[in-house]
């Protein structure tokens, strides 16, 4: 799809400058056939997450929770470093579900007892360190598996626009970009977007992918437009990921301040906290991103969950001064992506309008 502007420069000098014709909707005649692998990854992630949810629902029950498998296709597209972590977390998650006791808070200055496996705090299943591992295996996979696979697609053969179909699917939406039908990472790019004005990361991603597909179908003359659109897609995804870290840091602050001694409320606060940890951690080690690994390490350290070390997530239940660290994360992410104060405020709610 191309439109041309013909500029006449004289009888012997006729210059034709091609212009990219960008449709208003995403069009693909063979979408389902083109995204079989990506659809499998999305389905496997949902299956693994459902099994983790079931483990939480049946924790400390009369019947042991069965081991949770790591689906093969999902595992194969995940960064090896994160793949190893997921394998360990799935075992620990089941161990926590099958422990006889609920979560034992070590208290201010304490550490988990030897042999402690974690358990329920309210309705949330935490490991002995206070971390909800379900969020680590699910939310972290948005980056370490899904975004990682998108990078593989972009680094591969872009001569056929079917590659862009794969980028639509792996993000967690479809060719109609229906915000009510999102899954995986697209659920969170949608939540960081205004559904009334149709502005924000979800709609930036839609525009970028429509443009990339048109550019590929337009031919090599539009490789510059293609590459820019793909870069825009990745940046919008990344920004929505870390805008969601802002959301969960703010939610953790708000919920912990209001929880008091209510175990259900405390468990929900630690659930929000773990979502932020997982979403941030999942981008560690990825190529082609704006945030550096050192900055992610800084975030994880402030979250008391640095990579390669035993987390001390339970400290957030016992030390109110750590809420300042969550605000420091919000400020750091804002500075990395140059978010305005108004944007940051909008990230505190889902689907702002």
pLDDT, tens digit (0-9, with 9 covering 90-100), for 18-41: 899 999 999 999 999 999 999 999
Which stretches of the chain are assigned E, i.e. beta strand?
2-8, 14-20, 119-121, 124-126
Extents of the domains making up the chain: 31-346
Identify the three-state secondary structure at position 127.
coil
What is the value of pTM for the model shown?
0.94
Model confidence at 13: pLDDT above 60? no
Beta bridge partners of 18: 4
Whether 14 shows a pLDDT value over 90: the answer reads no
**61 pLDDT above the threshold of 60:** yes
Q: What is the pLDDT of residue 353?
A: 73
293 has a pLDDT exceeding 80:
yes
Give me the mean pLDDT over the 275-303 stretch: 98
Q: What is the mean pLDDT of residues 84-112?
A: 97
Report whether pLDDT(12) > 80. no
Top-confidence residue, 2 or 168: 168
pLDDT in tens, 185-232: 999 999 999 999 999 999 999 999 999 999 999 999 999 999 999 999
pLDDT of residue 16: 66
Q: Which two tokens stand for residue 202?
A: 């979800």
Q: Closest by alpha carbon to 26, among 173, 159, 176, 168?
A: 176
- Given a cut of 70, whether residue 237 has pLDDT beyond it is yes
Task: Output the furthest CA–CA distance in the chain (Å, rounded).
Answer: 89
| Average pLDDT of the segment spanning 306-328 | 98
Mean predicted confidence (pLDDT) in 157-183: 98
Q: What is the mean pLDDT of residues 320-347?
A: 98
Q: Is the pLDDT of residue 314 over 70?
A: yes
Task: Read off the pLDDT of each residue in 293-297 and give the average, rounded to a whole number.
Answer: 98
| Cα 58-60-62 angle, rounded to 5 deg | 80
Work out the percent of the chain whose per-residue pLDDT is above 70.
95
92 has pLDDT over 60: yes
């Amino acid at each position: 799809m191309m439109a041309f502007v013909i500029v006449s420069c004289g009888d012997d000098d006729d210059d034709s400058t091609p212009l990219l014709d960008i449709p208003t909707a995403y069009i693909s005649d063979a979408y389902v056939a083109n995204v079989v692998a990506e659809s499998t990854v999305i389905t496997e992630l949902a299956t693994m997450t459902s099994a983790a949810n079931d483990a939480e629902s049946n924790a400390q029950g009369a019947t042991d929770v069965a081991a949770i498998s790591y689906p093969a296709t999902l595992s194969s597209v995940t960064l090896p470093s994160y793949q190893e972590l997921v394998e360990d977390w799935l075992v620990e998650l089941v161990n926590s579900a099958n422990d006889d006791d609920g979560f034992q808070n070590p208290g201010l200055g304490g550490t988990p007892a030897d042999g402690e496996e974690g358990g329920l705090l309210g309705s949330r299943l935490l490991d002995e360190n206070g971390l909800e591992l379900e969020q680590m295996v699910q939310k972290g996979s948005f980056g370490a598996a899904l975004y990682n696979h998108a990078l593989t697609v972009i680094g591969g053969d872009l001569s056929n626009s079917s590659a862009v179909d794969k980028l639509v699917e792996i993000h967690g939406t479809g060719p109609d970009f229906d915000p009510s039908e999102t899954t995986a990472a697209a659920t969170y790019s949608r939540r960081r977007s205004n559904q009334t004005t149709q502005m924000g990361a979800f709609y930036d991603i839609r525009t970028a992918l429509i443009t990339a597909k048109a550019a590929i179908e337009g031919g090599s003359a539009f490789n510059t437009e293609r590459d820019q659109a793909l870069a825009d897609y990745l940046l919008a995804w990344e920004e929505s990921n870390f805008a969601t870290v802002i959301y969960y840091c703010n939610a953790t602050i708000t919920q912990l301040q209001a929880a008091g001694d209510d175990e259900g409320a405390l468990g929900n606060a630690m659930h929000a906290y773990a979502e932020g940890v997982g979403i941030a951690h999942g981008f560690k080690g990825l190529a082609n991103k704006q945030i550096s690994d050192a900055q992610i390490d800084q975030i994880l350290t402030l979250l008391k969950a640095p990579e390669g070390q035993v987390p001390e997530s339970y400290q957030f239940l016992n030390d109110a001064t750590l809420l300042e660290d969550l605000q420091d994360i919000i400020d750091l992410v804002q500075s990395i992506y140059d978010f305005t104060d108004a944007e940051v405020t909008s990230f505190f709610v889902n689907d702002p309008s």
